[in-house]
Homo-oligomer: A and B are copies of this chain.
């Protein structure tokens, strides 16, 4: 691991070269490196927390001057209850995952003595750009080493001291392992993100770990594939046959269990036939939880007709503007819109949503299956909270990010998302000119073989 002031291009070339060695190491060598990192970080706790304290002091001053958000200061704090222990446990968790490298996913006998095999292989060089959270370094370095990928890490300036301290520790730990020196490159030079994003010849995948603004900036400024999502505009469709209790439970959890999460609910589409069926129970639950509802005329009318509002809640039901249906509020605000039927709901979600996670509340299996087939999103749910969209909850053991891409990996991405494959053929002097439709020519056998 090298802490480098080299140019971004030199760092990328070194990472690519190291990736070719790393890709050939056995699982035991990659796991041993994780053990070494874990031990070294455990030993260096005091030193790292002292560096983190220096970052925190500067950040608190900046926050007091109004130059930094308080939430960012909080994310920076490695001393916060459980954070350090979680970081260390995370390394061992990753070590314990199944080895993703070298899995055979296809075997075909092309002809006697000529076998085709498809084997999983690391992608190559990952570029990780993150903001405040210094624990991301340990997490991402672990994921990269486990999956046989080299990584270039570029942190935010607020976490520089923590970043350097953790990096030095990881670096010296790796020196005694078989993981090559250049496999993890730490770029501490400032203002080099545009240069890094231009290195599509050497970098194979960018993983941004930070705010929506960061992701959006990166997606708009590179040709390298980006794994992640800029927006999470998740919608629920409340169909007329929805069970009111199920609907209220699911919608409340989706909206309120962590409003700042990308998988939190932002839009509620109410079938007109559900306005006086399940909707009132849902609306009551949301208002009781302090959610502000931005309604279209028809859904707003329900509150008046049914006399649902008291003094406390009357200010919480407002008129929606068009922009509310295209906004990730990330707070206790929910846009509500009346739609005629399933078709209109699907159309709304496919055009206004962000293809992240959307849910239908219904008792009709047919409506549910049509919704899940027609909505073009990474997650399509029936009577379950949008907040299940998460790698740990899906059982992947880790989460690299949640992708709204249409190729490679979609939805919560585990280690599998850091892999590609290669085809191996083992022959005995076979040549293509022997095969064909003509007389005397050989035919391919194309027999599928057990994995």
- Do residues B431 and A249 form an inter-chain contact, with CB atoms below 8 A? yes
**Once bound together, how far apart are the Cα atoms of A379 and B421, in whole Å?**
10
SS of A interface (majority):
mixed
Stretch from A164-172, A295-303, A313-321, A405-413 contacting the other chain: A405-413
Set of chain B residues within 8 Å of A163, measured between Cβ atoms = none
Set of chain B residues within 8 Å of A346, measured between Cβ atoms = 20
Set of chain B residues within 8 Å of A45, measured between Cβ atoms = none
- Do residues A368 and B426 form an inter-chain contact, with CB atoms below 8 A? yes
Contact with B along A311-330 (1 / 0, CB 8 A): 00000000000000000000
- CB of A284 closer than 8 Å to a CB of B: no
**Once bound together, how far apart are the Cα atoms of A205 and B225, in whole Å?**
12
Q: Which of B373, B412, B425 contacts A381 (CB 8 A)?
A: B425
- Do residues B422 and A411 form an inter-chain contact, with CB atoms below 8 A? yes
- Do residues B24 and A384 form an inter-chain contact, with CB atoms below 8 A? no
- CB of A42 closer than 8 Å to a CB of B: no
Set of chain B residues within 8 Å of A381, measured between Cβ atoms = 424-427
- CB of A40 closer than 8 Å to a CB of B: no
Q: Which of B347, B370, B432 contacts A24 (CB 8 A)?
A: B370
Set of chain B residues within 8 Å of A216, measured between Cβ atoms = none
- Do residues A422 and B250 form an inter-chain contact, with CB atoms below 8 A? no
Contact with B along A51-84 (1 / 0, CB 8 A): 0000000000000000000000000000000000
Smallest distance from the beta carbon of A69 to chain B beta carbons, Å?
26
- Do residues A385 and B420 form an inter-chain contact, with CB atoms below 8 A? no
Residues 108 to 134 of chain A near chain B (Cβ within 8 Å): 108, 110, 114, 116, 121, 123-124
Smallest distance from the beta carbon of A379 to chain B beta carbons, Å?
5
- Do residues B108 and A394 form an inter-chain contact, with CB atoms below 8 A? yes
Smallest distance from the beta carbon of A327 to chain B beta carbons, Å?
17
Q: Which of B222, B225, B412, B425 contacts A379 (CB 8 A)?
A: B425
Residues 375 to 413 of chain A near chain B (Cβ within 8 Å): 376-385, 387-389, 393-395, 405-412
- CB of A277 closer than 8 Å to a CB of B: no
- CB of A444 closer than 8 Å to a CB of B: yes
- CB of A341 closer than 8 Å to a CB of B: no
Q: Which of B249, B380, B429 contacts A250 (CB 8 A)?
A: B429
- CB of A253 closer than 8 Å to a CB of B: yes
Set of chain B residues within 8 Å of A123, measured between Cβ atoms = 406-407
- CB of A292 closer than 8 Å to a CB of B: no
Q: Which of B17, B382, B426 contacts A383 (CB 8 A)?
A: B426
The complex is assembled from copies of this chain, and their number is 2
**Once bound together, how far apart are the Cα atoms of A24 and B108, in whole Å?**
32
Return the chain B residue nearest A411 by Cβ: B423
Q: Which of B124, B384, B410 contacts A426 (CB 8 A)?
A: B384
- Do residues B446 and A395 form an inter-chain contact, with CB atoms below 8 A? yes
Return the chain B residue nearest A261 by Cβ: B432
- Do residues A424 and B380 form an inter-chain contact, with CB atoms below 8 A? yes
**Once bound together, how far apart are the Cα atoms of A379 and B368, in whole Å?**
43
Residues 422 to 451 of chain A near chain B (Cβ within 8 Å): 422-433, 435, 444, 446
Smallest distance from the beta carbon of A304 to chain B beta carbons, Å?
29
- CB of A28 closer than 8 Å to a CB of B: no
Set of chain B residues within 8 Å of A379, measured between Cβ atoms = 422-425
Set of chain B residues within 8 Å of A350, measured between Cβ atoms = 17, 20
* Given pairs A20-B376, A252-B431, A380-B422, 13 additional interface contacts (CB within 8 A): A23-B373, A110-B394, A205-B407, A225-B225, A225-B407, A246-B429, A372-B424, A379-B422, A380-B424, A383-B429, A388-B425, A407-B420, A408-B420
27 contacts between A and B (CB under 8 A): A19-B376, A20-B350, A110-B394, A114-B388, A116-B394, A116-B395, A121-B376, A123-B407, A204-B406, A204-B407, A205-B407, A225-B225, A250-B431, A252-B431, A253-B431, A379-B423, A379-B424, A380-B425, A381-B425, A382-B424, A382-B426, A383-B427, A388-B430, A395-B444, A407-B408, A410-B422, A412-B423
